[in-house]
Amino acid sequence: MSRKNVMLAGLVTAAFTIAVLTFTFRSDGEPKPGQASVPNPSQEKTIKKAALTQDVIATDRLNRVDVSKHLRTMLLETNGKTPEDISAYAKRLQQGHGHITMLMWIDFQTKQTSTFKSSFPEGSDQENKQLLKYLNTAKAAIKGHQAYESPSFIIGNKKYYFTAQRDQQGRYGVIALIHQRILDKVAEHQLKNLRLIPYPKEGKYRVESVHADTLKDLTVKTGHDNENASHYYENEIVVRFKNGHPTAGQLQTIAADIRSKEPRKLGYAYIFRSGKMNYTQLKTYFNDKWHPQYTEPHYMYLTNDAVSENKATVITPNDLLFSAYQWNLPAIETEQGWNLSKGSKDVIVAVVDTGVQANHPDLKGQLLAGYNAITKTSPPDDDVGHGTHVAGIIGALTNNGEGVAGISWYNKILPVKALDNSGAGTTYSVAEGIIWAADKGAKVINLSLGNYADSQFLHDAIKYAYDRDVVIVSAAGNDNTERPGFPAAYPEVLAVAATNATGERASFSNYGEYIDVAAPGESIASTYPDNQYAALSGTSMASPHVAALAGLVRSLNPALTNKEVMAMMTSNAIDLGDPGHDKYYGSGQVDIYRTLQAAAGGEVPLQLFPQRVGRQLNSLRQSLENH
3-class DSSP assignment, residue 582: strand
What is the pLDDT, as a whole number, of residue 624?
60
What is the pLDDT, as a whole number, of residue 615?
55
Taking each helix axis from N to C terminus, what angle separates 427-439 and 456-467, rounded to the nearest 10 degrees? 10
What is the pLDDT, as a whole number, of residue 319?
92
| Type of residue at 609 | F
Taking each helix axis from N to C terminus, what angle separates 592-600 and 539-556, rounded to the nearest 10 degrees? 20
What is the pLDDT, as a whole number, of residue 601?
75
**Residues in the chain with pLDDT < 50?**
1-34, 201-232, 299-312, 602-605, 607, 609
Say which of 97, 386, 459, 545 is annotated catalytic: 386
What is the pLDDT, as a whole number, of residue 201?
46
Q: Mark whether 27 is an active-site residue.
A: no
Q: Render pLDDT for 572-598 as a digit per residue (tens, 0 to 9).
A: 999 998 899 999 999 999 999 999 999
Burial class (CB in 10 A: 0-12, 13-18, 19+), 18: middle
DSSP designation for 606: G
Cα three-residue angle 251-255-257, rounded to 5 degrees: 115
Say which of 66, 353, 381, 582 is annotated catalytic: 353
Q: Render pLDDT for 46-102 as a digit per residue (tens, 0 to 9).
A: 888 888 898 999 999 999 999 999 999 999 999 889 999 999 999 999 988 999 999
Say which of 540, 543, 555, 587 is annotated catalytic: 540
Up-side HSE of residue 244: CA atoms within 13 Å toward CB? 3
Q: Mark whether 540 is an active-site residue.
A: yes
Burial class (CB in 10 A: 0-12, 13-18, 19+), 119: exposed
What is the pLDDT, as a whole number, of residue 478?
87
DSSP designation for 491: T
Q: Mark whether 378 is an active-site residue.
A: no
CA 440 to mean position of chain CA atoms: 24
What is the pLDDT, as a whole number, of residue 146?
92
What is the pLDDT, as a whole number, of residue 398?
96
Dihedral sign (CA 46, 47, 50, 51): negative
What is the pLDDT, as a whole number, of residue 270?
82
Nearest to 10, CA basis, from 512, 414, 2, 293: 2
Q: How many angstroms separate the CA atoms of 341 and 320, rounded?
A: 22
One DSSP character per residue, 423-460 reads SEE-HHHHHHHHHHHHHTTEEEEEE--BBSS--HHHHH
pTM above 0.85, yes or no: no
The neighbouring-strand residues paired with 497 are 518
3-class DSSP assignment, residue 148: strand
- Looking only at the bridges linking them, the beta strands covering 172-179 and 158-166 are antiparallel
